[in-house]
Structure formats: C-alpha cells, structure tokens
Amino acid sequence: MGILDDVLSRRKEEERIKKEGRLPPGQSLTQKFPVLHYGPTPDFDEAKWDLHVFGEVKQEKRWNWKDFQALPTVKITVDIHCVTRWSKFDTKWEGVRFRDFVQLFGLTDQAQFVIAHCEYGYTTNTPLSIMMDDDVLLAYKFNGQFLEAEHGYPLRTLVPKRYLWKSAKWVRGLEFSPIDKPGFWENAGYNNNGDPFKEERYSRRGFF
C-alpha cells in the first residue's frame, strides 16, 4: 500500500469515527502512538521502586513492584486523546482499576482530588469523581505487553475522559487531597480540567 492509499485509508477511518461521535473537536486520528513528554525517560530500578498512597487516606501504604503486580487487573479498550490534537482509537490496556485500588486503603470524607506524583517531580491533578470512573486504571500493559519506557513503564495512570497529559507516566505516588493542586502543565497554562469533548486545551490566560 502506497502513501496515498495510507492517507485515504486513515481519512476513511477518521470519518467513520467522527460519525460515531467519538472524535473530539479539533482532533485527528492517528494510527501511531506518538511520544510526548517533558524531560528525559527515567530508568527503572525494581529494587528501589515503590508506589506510595498518602493524604486523605485511612491507611497510608506502599507497594513494591512485585506486590503491585500481584493485584487483580482488568483489561479495557478505550479511545485516547492528546492535547496536541491527535486521537488514537480502540486502544487496549491492562492494569488495576483505580476505584478497586482505593478499596485497599480507604479514603476519608475529605478526599476530593487525586494528585499523581511522578518521576522528576512531575504532577498532575484530577477530581476524585473522574478517577472513580470504570475506565480509569493504574496501567502497566498496552496491547498485551508491558508498557514501553517512553510510554510510562512501569506504571502510569490512564484517564481516558481527559486529555492524555492527565494520564501521568512513571507514577510513584498518589496523593488524595481535600483541595485542588494544579500540576506541571496546569501551572504552565494548560486547562485545569482538560475535557477533550469540550476542547479544554488551555487556560484563559493562554499558553504562550
């Protein structure tokens, strides 16, 4: 198949997705998985890695990599959307469902927001109500394989109803907070909410 055939095939598929109401405004279909993140890709040292939950929790806890992989997982198929205007459809993920995960330590009544803390100090914020949706995962497999390092290995959040920067790569901690705490890109001018279907890309003050 030539380049022109590839373009026509992609456009045909994009039109089908658009008719199904799955293509957010301003987005285009991609059949690749572009790599976009700030800073270098961190190395993974299993002996030093852990996942820490803290804040408005009933029991502060940590998991090492072996113990985390022992938790029950689910497989889901979802669409993902990047603020840089690409969307990828019917992507297949596996990981621990977030709402099941919180049952392992419990939340206080004050917990309203989830702040993902990642390697190199990166953070991003999401309302707890969104994180409790059925399709939100602590994901470590994509298309049946462990995540590639550049896509967040060993662990990332997956929040399909928000632009993909809210799906934080290289997660090391989850803070449950009574107040909102905008993260790296939110403080840099991205919209605090990031709903693709409302095209919430940037804050009112603008990005540039």
Mean pLDDT, 10 residues at a time, over the chain (208 residues)?
65 92 96 80 96 98 98 98 96 98 98 97 97 98 97 97 97 98 96 97 67
Taking the domains of the chain in order of start, what are their residue ranges?
Answer: 46-198
Q: Which residues of 152-187 are buried (b: 16+ CB within 10 A; e: fewer)?
A: bbbbbbbbbbbbbbbbbbbbbbbbbbeeeebbbbbe
Tokens of 13: 């598929």
Tokens of 126: 């999401």
Nearest to 169 by CA among 155, 190, 182: 155
Residue 182's Cβ-side half-sphere holds a number of Cα atoms within 13 Å equal to 12
Query: What is the reported pLDDT for 146?
Result: 98
Contacts of 18 (CB under 8 A, 6+ apart): none
Query: What is the reported pLDDT for 205?
Result: 54
Q: How far apart are CA 30 and CA 70, in angstroms?
A: 33
The CATH number assigned to the domain with range 46-198 reads 3.90.420.10
Q: Which amino acid is at 119?
A: E
Nearest to 73 by CA among 158, 170, 138, 149: 138
Nearest to 195 by CA among 152, 160, 169, 156: 160
Q: Helix-strand-coil percent breakdown of the chain, rounded to 5?
A: 25, 30, 45
Eight-class DSSP state of 1: -
Whether the pTM exceeds 0.85: the reply is yes
What spatial distance separates the first Cα and last Cα of the chain, rounded to whole Å?
40
